């Protein structure tokens, strides 16, 4: 049976977060909202895939990773990048094609490279590459791991299974973080994924952990010992987050029925923290909104990015 995120229980109260974590959640939220505003104003070209609603996943995971661990991200990767580097200027400059862009404006939203962080826009492609990096890390730096973020839709790609097979056969420190938001672009998971992700991992003898929580503290408590095992024993791990995509796949292409959108909104960490009405939340929220407004104004005023072709 496919586990649908739409069947999730009513939202529970979330635990109090450290300022750093709450601020980071809000930084990502306002960054993504700003992108949608900029698109609406004609300030951005191309496309983008926001992670609205899923921000807590990389915020929870990132402190469990070392900067020497390798991270692979995907088309919906702004949160992954910001949680690792807290660099809205470089990312926005990349998306806007302005000076100071992370990849000189060549990669854009979906193709980022910084030290040991890489994203690409082809589904499933990253897992074999991540497996290769995990092989290299296992041999050169004991205790390091590779973390690859994928979605539930990615499990339709054969490359996923080829990679999991080799990662299991060769005992590689590969953590696959699945952001299972219940929808692959416009196709609900129950119409594109037979069986479960848990059973697919089990077929390779790979440990699988599913969490329904959106509570950053709780998630970290669950994952910390699992990631320690990956480092210590050099074994792969699949972590599945039952999460919710608040927005459209990219910009304005949301074909979901209203009740599905409403259900996703009920689970939104932002609304839940706002409802818990802490003064601190209101203050940090305003701070991050202002900060992103300033970042956007500053980056938009920069000259165009320059690229020296090879």
Partner 1 sequence: MRVAENLNRSLHTLFEDNPDLHLLGEDVVDPYGGAFKITRGLSTRFPDRVLATPLSEGGFVGVAAGLALAGVPAIAEIMFADFVTLAFDQIVNFASKSVSMYGRALPLPLLVRCPTGAGRGYGPTHSQSLQKHFIGVPGLSLYEISPFHDNLALLSGILAQAEPAVLFEDKILYTQPMFAGGRADELFSYDLPYPDPGTARVFLDDPDGADCVLIAPGGLAYRALRAMRALLLDDEISCLLLVPTRLHPFDLEPLMGQLKHARAIFVAEDSTAGGTWGAEIAHQVHQRMWGDLERPVTLIHSADSVIPAAAHLEQQVLVRDTTIHRTIAGVLGA
Burial class (CB in 10 A: 0-12, 13-18, 19+), 42: exposed
Minimum Å distance from CB 307 to partner 1? 6
C-beta of 22 vs 160, nearer to partner 1? 160
Residues 6+ apart with CB under 8 A from 228: none
**CB of 87 vs partner 1, minimal distance in Å:** 15
Contact in structure between 49 and 249 (CB atoms under 8 Å): yes
In the bound state with partner 1, the residue whose beta carbon lies nearer, of 57 and 133, is: 133
- Smallest distance, partner 1 to C-beta of residue 72, A: 9
- Gyration radius of the chain over CA positions: 19
Report how far residue 239's alpha carbon sits from residue 113's, in angstroms, rounded to the nearest whole number: 23
Nearer to partner 1, 118 or 248 (CB): 118
* Site for partner 1, rule CB under 8 A: 70, 101-107, 111-113, 118, 120, 122, 125, 127-137, 139-140, 158-159, 162-163, 165-166, 169-170, 305, 307, 309-310
Rounded-to-integer distance, Cα 240 and Cα 214, Å: 12
- The residue to which tokens 């990312």 are assigned: 91
Residue owning tokens 């039952």: 242
Q: Which is nearer to partner 1, 135 or 242 (CB)?
A: 135
Q: Cα(39)–Cα(49) distance, rounded to whole angstroms?
A: 12
User: From the CB of 80, what's the least distance to partner 1, in Å?
Assistant: 16
Among residues 22 and 101, whose Cβ is nearest to partner 1? 101
- Contact by Cβ (8 Å): 64, 227: yes
Residue 287 CB partners (closer than 8 Å, separation 6+): 23, 26
Q: How far is the CB of 201 from partner 1 (least distance, A)?
A: 17
Which run of H or E residues covers position 118? strand 117-119
Q: How far is the CB of 52 from partner 1 (least distance, A)?
A: 26
Query: Closest approach of Cβ 66 to partner 1, in Å?
Result: 15
For partner 1, give the closer residue by CB, 147 or 163: 163
Is the Cβ of residue 120 or residue 154 nearer to partner 1 in the bound state?
A: 120
Quick one: which of 295, 291, 269 has its CA closest to 22? 269
The answer to whether 153 touches 192, Cβ cutoff 8 Å, is: yes
Rounded to 5°, angle at Cα 218 from 146 and 194: 60
Sign of CA pseudo-dihedral 100, 301, 248, 17:
positive
CB-nearer residue toward partner 1: 162 or 298: 162
Cβ at position 251, least distance to partner 1 in Å: 22
């Amino acid at each position: 049976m496919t586990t649908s995120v739409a069947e999730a229980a009513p939202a529970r109260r979330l635990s109090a977060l450290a300022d750093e974590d709450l601020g980071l959640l809000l930084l990502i939220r306002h960054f993504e909202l700003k992108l949608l505003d900029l698109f609406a104003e004609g300030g951005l070209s191309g496309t983008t895939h926001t992670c609205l609603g899923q921000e807590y996943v990389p915020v929870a995971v990132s402190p469990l990773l070392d900067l020497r661990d390798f991270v692979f991200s995907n088309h919906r990767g702004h949160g992954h990048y910001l949680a690792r580097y807290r660099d809205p200027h470089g990312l926005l400059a990349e998306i806007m094609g302005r000076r100071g862009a992370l990849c000189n404006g060549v990669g854009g939203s979906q193709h980022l490279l910084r030290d040991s962080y890489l994203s690409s826009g082809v589904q499933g492609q990253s897992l074999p590459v991540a497996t290769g990096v995990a092989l290299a890390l296992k041999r050169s730096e004991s205790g390091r791991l590779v973390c690859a973020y994928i979605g539930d839709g990615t499990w339709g790609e054969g490359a996923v299974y080829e990679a999991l097979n080799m990662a299991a056969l060769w005992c590689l420190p590969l953590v696959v973080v699945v952001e299972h938001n219940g929808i692959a672009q416009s196709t609900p998971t129950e119409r594109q994924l037979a069986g479960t992700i848990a059973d697919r991992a089990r077929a390779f003898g790979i440990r699988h952990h599913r969490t329904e929580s959106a509570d950053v503290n709780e998630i970290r408590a669950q994952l910390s010992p699992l990631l320690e095992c990956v480092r210590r024993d050099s074994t792969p791990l699949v972590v599945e987050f039952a999460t919710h995509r608040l927005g459209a796949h990219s910009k304005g292409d949301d074909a979901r029925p209203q009740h599905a959108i409403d259900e996703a909104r009920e689970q939104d960490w932002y609304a839940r923290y706002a409802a818990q009405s802490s003064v601190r939340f209101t203050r940090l929220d305003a701070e991050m909104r202002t900060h992103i407004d300033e970042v956007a104004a500053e980056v938009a005023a920069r000259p165009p990015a320059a690229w020296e072709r090879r």
